[in-house]
Structure 1
Amino acid sequence: MYLEVVTDQHRARLRRVALSWLLAMGTLGYLFPYAVATTRGKANAGAIGVLNLALGWTVVGWVVALAMACGRHRIAGLRVS
Structure 2
Amino acid sequence: MSTTLTRHRPVVLVVAWVLAVVSGGYFLPWALAVTRGKTNATTIGWVNFLLGWTIVGWVVALVMSLRPHATHTF
Instruction: State whether structure 2 residue 42 is matched by structure 1 residue 46.
Output: yes
TM-score, length basis structure 1: 0.85
1:8 corresponds, among 4, 7, 16, to: 4
Partner residue, 2:54:
58
2:30 is the alignment partner of 1:34: yes
| Structure having the higher Rg | 1
One-letter amino acid of the counterpart of residue 11, structure 1: R
Unaligned segments of structure 2, at least 5 residues: none
Name the residue aligned to 1:22: 18
Alignment: residue pair count? 74
More relative contact order, 1 or 2 (CA 8 Å, 6+ apart): 1
RMSD: 1.1
Q: Distance in 2 between matches of 1:49 and 1:12?
A: 13
TM-score between both structures, scaled by the size of structure 2 = 0.92
Moved over 2 A (4+): none
Preserved contact between residue 12 and residue 40 of structure 1 (Cα < 8 Å): no
